Amino acid sequence: MKCPLCKLINPPEAQRCDCGFDFATQKLEKSYMRTPPRSGDRAAGNRDIAFGAFFLVAGAIATGITYSLAAQDGGAYTVTVGLFVVGAYRLIRGCVRLNK
């Protein structure tokens, strides 16, 4: 049976098409298809990108400050690997969420 709305071929015993068209009532009901992404997913992606960028910049600033102090006075400096890793993770996760 071919759906008059989406033209999908359905089995003869189908009562409703995946697009939501009910063959018995000839009306559009709720679709069985996956719903589009919620707007909250987009907001969460943007938030992850913002936090990721913040952590990357904070890590670069903290590393730069400790390096400049070590260069002036001698001694060791700290590379803030944790901030870089968390920042990169959040940045990538935000991009993935936006591309869903």
Phi and psi of 90, rounded to 5°?
Answer: -65, -35
Residue 60 and residue 17 share a domain: no
Residue 77 and residue 46 share a domain: yes
Residue 57 and residue 31 share a domain: no
Domain count, the chain: 2
Measured in whole angstroms, the distance separating CA 16 from the mean position of its chain's CA atoms is 32
Residue 41 and residue 88 share a domain: yes
Residue 55 and residue 92 share a domain: yes
Predicted TM-score of the model (pTM): 0.59
Residue 49 and residue 75 share a domain: yes
Quote the pLDDT of residue 34: 64
Length in residues, the chain: 100
pLDDT in tens, the chain (100 residues): 888 888 889 998 888 888 888 888 998 877 766 655 566 778 899 999 999 999 999 999 999 999 999 999 888 999 999 999 999 999 999 999 888 7
> How do 27-28 and 21-22 pair as beta strands?
antiparallel
Quote the pLDDT of residue 84: 96
Residue 88 and residue 45 share a domain: yes
Residue 54 and residue 68 share a domain: yes
Residue 50 and residue 1 share a domain: no
DSSP string, 22-56: ETTTTEE----SPPPPPHHHHHHHHHHHHHHHHHH
Domain of residue 15 covers 1-35
**C-alpha to C-alpha distances, 84 to 46, 79, 81, 92, nearest whole angstrom:** 18, 9, 5, 12
Residue 93 and residue 48 share a domain: yes
How far apart, in whole angstroms, are the C-alpha atoms of residue 42 and residue 84? 23
